[in-house]
Every structure is written in C-alpha cells, then in structure tokens.
Amino acid sequence: MTQTKHLHIGLSLAPTWQSGDAWRQLDSNIEGIFTADFAVDLARRAEAAHLDFVFRPDVCCVNETLLEQGSGFASLDPSILLAAVAQHTSRIGLVSTVSTTFNPPYVVARQLQSLNWVSRGRVGWNIVTALQGHENFGLPAMPGADERYRRAAEFTDVVRQLWCSYPGDAVLIDRAEGRYTDAARVKPIDHVGDHFRVRGPLNVPTFDARIPLIQAGASEAGRDFAAAVADIVFAPTPDLQAAQDLRTDLSQRALRHGRDPGDVRLLPGLSLYLADTREHAREIFMQTHARLDRVRKLEQIREMTGLDLRAWPDDRPITPADLPPPPPSPASRTHSHLLRRLLERESLILAELLLRPEVISAAHWQVIGTAEDAVESIRTWAASGAIDGFIAAPGGSVQSIAIFLEQVMPRLVEVGLFRSKYRHETFMEHLQQTND
Ligand SMILES: Cc1cc2nc3c(=O)[nH]c(=O)nc-3n(C[C@H](O)[C@H](O)[C@H](O)COP(=O)(O)O)c2cc1C
C-alpha cells in the first residue's frame, strides 16, 4: 500500500487569536504580548504536536490609528523573540521574517546564521519585500513592487553567498597543531551589484543545516522569485481553485528555473475559528469582527480595486460590471488580484464582502466550525494535491489554538496526513521528510 504524503504544518506566532476584538477576552493574555512567555508556551505546545515550524510575520512600522482599538503592528523583533523560543524548544523550526527592502544583507545573513547556531539548525527565513515602513528608513516613498523584487533577488543572492563564505567545516580547532581554522577555505564574496557592494566573508561560520527560505508575494514577479529560490511559498489562497492555479503556475516556473517543483512547497495560510459547535464558532468569528473599522476597510477596498463603496447600501449586490479598471500600482498586487477575483466570481452584498477573508484576513483559506470541520477541509485540500501543507493562524480565542493543537492535529496523524513523531533535528530535514 502506498503511504499518503505527509503535510508540512506551521503555526503562526503572530497573535492572531488577539486580532479584532478577541484581545478583550479575559484569557487572551494580551498583557503578555511584549514578553516571550506566550510565544515560548505556544511553541512548546506546537512542538509536542510535532509541527514543522512556528512562524513569526513582521513589519517595521506601527499604525498609530489602529492602536486605540488593538495592538496594531506593535510587536517584538521576530529574530530576538525566536532566540528566546530556541532556548525552550529542541526540534521545531523557527521562521523569522526579515525585509529585504530595509536591511543590509550582511547584517541579515549574520543574524539568521547566528540564530541557526543558537537553535542548532532550526531557522527559516521568511523573505518579505514589505508593504509599508519606508519613512522609518529615510526613503521618500515605498519603492515599486518590481524594484523591491529586483533588490530582494540580489539581496538573497548576497545572503546565500555569505552563508557559503565561511564553511562550518573549515573550523579545525586543532589544539595540538595550533590551527583554529583552515583559513584558505574562508573566502570573500566580492559582490558588486546594482544595489549592494559586499566584500565578505561572513564573520560567523555556517552551521551544518541549510536555512530554508520562505516567500509570500504572489504577483508575477513574486511567483517567479519564489520559484527561483523558495523552499516554501506562504500563499494567500481563499479557495481551493486559487490554490490549484497557484500550484500549477509555481510548478511550471520551478521547472523553468531548473528546479524540481516538489522543492517549492505550497503552504497556504489557514485562518481557524474553532469551537465545540459551529454556532459557537460563528459567534466567536462575529464577535471578533464586531467593531470592524468600516471606514478603513472601505478605503482598503478602494485602494485595492478602485471600487468606491462608501455610499453603497449594505444590501445592494456588487456585480463584476461595477468594477472599474484596476489601479495601476496597488501596494500588494497579490491581495488586489484576489479581491478583484472574488468580486468577479461572486455577487456579494457589501455586508457579506466586509466579512470575507479577502477583506479581513489577508485572503487566507478559512474554516469557521468544529475540529471535525477543520479536519474535513484539510483532507479535501490535501486530496486535491494542490498543497504541501499549511500555516495555521488560529483566530477568535485561545480556545481555537487549543482545539487546533489538541484535536485537529491528532486527527491528522490518525488519518495518515501528519507525522506521529519527529524523525529529525533540523528544520530542513523536517521539510524533506514526507512520511513516517
Ligand atoms: C501571505 C502574505 C504574507 C505577507 N507577510 C508579510 C510580512 O509579514 N511582512 C511584510 O513586510 N510583508 C509581508 N507581505 C508582503 C510581501 O512581502 C510583498 O511585499 C507583497 O505581497 C507585494 O508583493 P506582490 O507584488 O507579489 O503582491 C506578505 C504578503 C503575503 C501575500
């Protein structure tokens, strides 16, 4: 009998369970947001369920207008937080987000390689070109998306060269001969490109476990970049068809880059609002989004699609004919495309649109229901062959996290879709393992 291929599963460490109004619940642990405790606790529970990794998204700015109603984007630096998590875990992968638009590649190569040593080979790098924050880095405006990707490609190339510049096995520590390193094997990279000039070598030797790369933007340029370098694509795919289309496209692009399509793993985000009954789950979802900032959402819809719904009655359906031509350069082409796609495919009234994942949760696949509903949805998506796993983002309450880790995960093991224990030590090895 052929074994079912296991999924690769990550858990978001962004406090999604505190988003919207969920932070106001008594047990939300919002007071702990600037400590490492909650992330450590969650990572340990995720490790007990043998997840591939925990994942910390990040931005380099704070939105003051959001702070009145929630923590907004204020958060600890992800690599520092994960260094703390590394001390209390031993197997689970630790994915940090670092932007290629705002940082120098030498610093990033060094930080991530340091984290790789501290965690004994468990780091992943979520490469983002970022959507906002230029004003904090002396830039007059956010560079255009294509320019950000050109810089990201060169940046990633420099980081990878630096990671090869001081091979870990060049360190000899030969006390008898007095030789610390075989210095002839430590080489400058002498990189001179459009964006960077970096001599190298890196001042940290390479830990003996490659750092997996994760990428998220799904515009043409984003997919091409992902197909060239990524081990994981973190995808916003609100429905199965979107995931299937993205899978087909990524596979073709991977082949064009001379890579095995199986090495470009597609992991959609999965928003989970879980409770003991469907009614309760729906209630949690509605409560979470009860104070949804309507003005801000309508502005976001206008920016992404050009469609101005400010004077639109809540109950009037929006049809494809209402859509104006797309705006020329939206901040995220991925999210603009997915929102337009939704409006072209379904005739929604405004009240419905304002609760769809394309508007409220970065266009992720979403399950509002019981543990069994989540398992069924995951089984259907896995059976389609479109996905290699997912990144879970439990929302609405801490209960959603507990149900995911304690009920959904064991069921996925039972049905043969997930490992029953770790076989390996490093993050890359977890990704390469496809069954028990
Ligand atoms: C699912 C998803 C997650 C993202 N997460 C982050 C993030 O944590 N931090 C960040 O600065 N940008 C993030 N981005 C933005 C991307 O890095 C990129 O700048 C954006 O998607 C524009 O690329 P595009 O033209 O390919 O859409 C994310 C994008 C997507 C689609």
pLDDT of 1: 46
Is the C-beta atom of 59 inside 6 A of ligand 1? yes
For residues 214 and 329, the model is more confident at 214
- CB–CB of 292/360 below 8 Å? yes
- Which residue has the least CA distance to atom 5 on ligand 1? 57
User: Looking at the predicted structure, is the pLDDT value of residue 231 above 90?
Assistant: yes
| DSSP letters for 372-408 | HHHHHHHHHHHHTT--SEEEEEE-SSHHHHHHIIIII
> Residue 295 corresponds to which tokens in the numbers above?
């003005």
Q: In terms of pTM, does the model score above 0.85?
A: yes
pLDDT of 291: 74
Whole domain around residue 400: which residue ranges? 8-276+366-432
User: Rounded to the nearest whole angstrom, what is the distance from the C-alpha of residue 57 to the centroid of ligand 1?
Assistant: 10
CB atoms inside a 10 Å sphere around CB 28 = 18
User: Looking at the predicted structure, is the pLDDT value of residue 3 above 70?
Assistant: no
Asked if the structure places residue 379 within a domain, the reply is yes
Q: Which helix (H) or strand (E) holds 54?
A: strand 53-56
HSE-CB at 52 with a 13 A cutoff on CA atoms is 27
Phi, psi of 327 (to 5 degrees): -65, 145
Asked if the structure places residue 290 within a domain, the reply is no
Asked if the structure places residue 403 within a domain, the reply is yes
Phi, psi of 82 (to 5 degrees): -70, -25
User: Rounded to the nearest whole angstrom, what is the distance from the C-alpha of residue 362 to the centroid of ligand 1?
Assistant: 9
- CB–CB of 362/331 below 8 Å? no
352 Cβ contact partners less than 8 Å away, ≥ 6 residues apart: none
User: Rounded to the nearest whole angstrom, what is the distance from the C-alpha of residue 272 to the centroid of ligand 1?
Assistant: 20
Which is nearest to 407 in space by CA: 416, 397, 419, 399?
A: 399
Q: What is the mean pLDDT of residues 85-113?
A: 98
User: Looking at the predicted structure, is the pLDDT value of residue 2 above 80?
Assistant: no
Q: Which atom of ligand 1 is nearest to the CA of 127?
A: 17
Q: Which atom of ligand 1 is nearest to the CA of 337?
A: 27
Asked if the structure places residue 315 within a domain, the reply is no
Q: 179: helix, coil or strand? A: strand
User: Rounded to the nearest whole angstrom, what is the distance from the C-alpha of residue 170 to the centroid of ligand 1?
Assistant: 37
Asked if the structure places residue 170 within a domain, the reply is yes
pLDDT of 289: 86
User: Rounded to the nearest whole angstrom, what is the distance from the C-alpha of residue 101 to the centroid of ligand 1?
Assistant: 12
Asked if the structure places residue 188 within a domain, the reply is yes
User: Looking at the predicted structure, is the pLDDT value of residue 33 above 50?
Assistant: yes
Question: CATH number for the domain including 249?
Answer: 3.20.20.30
Is the C-beta atom of 142 inside 6 A of ligand 1? no
> pLDDT tens across 121-152, in order?
999 999 999 999 999 999 999 999 999 999 99
> pLDDT tens across 386-416, in order?
999 999 999 988 999 999 999 999 999 999 9
Dihedral of CA atoms 423, 426, 431, 436 in degrees, nearest 10, equals 0
User: Looking at the predicted structure, is the pLDDT value of residue 159 above 80?
Assistant: yes
Q: 165: helix, coil or strand? A: helix
> pLDDT tens across 246-305, in order?
999 999 999 999 999 999 999 999 999 999 999 999 999 998 888 777 888 899 899 999
pLDDT of 20: 82
β-partners of residue 127 are 98, 215
pLDDT of 174: 98
Asked if the structure places residue 357 within a domain, the reply is no
Q: Quote the percentage of the chain above a pLDDT of 70.
A: 99
Is the C-beta atom of 234 inside 6 A of ligand 1? yes
Is the C-beta atom of 333 inside 6 A of ligand 1? yes
Asked if the structure places residue 205 within a domain, the reply is yes
- CB–CB of 11/55 below 8 Å? yes
Is the C-beta atom of 238 inside 6 A of ligand 1? no
Which is nearest to 51 in space by CA: 296, 330, 406?
A: 406
> Residue 17 corresponds to which tokens in the numbers above?
């369970």
Q: From the centroid of its chain, how far is CA 354?
A: 23
Query: Given ligand 1 and candidates 100, 129, 149, which is best to mutate, with the most ligand atoms within 8 Å of its CB?
Result: 129
- CB–CB of 86/391 below 8 Å? no
Is the C-beta atom of 427 inside 6 A of ligand 1? no
User: Rounded to the nearest whole angstrom, what is the distance from the C-alpha of residue 266 to the centroid of ligand 1?
Assistant: 15
User: Rounded to the nearest whole angstrom, what is the distance from the C-alpha of residue 216 to the centroid of ligand 1?
Assistant: 5
> Residue 341 corresponds to which tokens in the numbers above?
């796609």
Which is nearest to 331 in space by CA: 174, 129, 185?
A: 129
Is the C-beta atom of 247 inside 6 A of ligand 1? no
Identity of residue 416: G
The mean pLDDT of the chain is 94
> pLDDT tens across 164-192, in order?
999 999 999 999 999 999 999 999 999 99
Q: Give me the number of domains the chain comprises.
A: 1
Query: Given ligand 1 and candidates 213, 334, 364, which is best to mutate, with the most ligand atoms within 8 Å of its CB?
Result: 334
Q: Which atom of ligand 1 is nearest to the CA of 236?
A: 1
User: Rounded to the nearest whole angstrom, what is the distance from the C-alpha of residue 420 to the centroid of ligand 1?
Assistant: 32
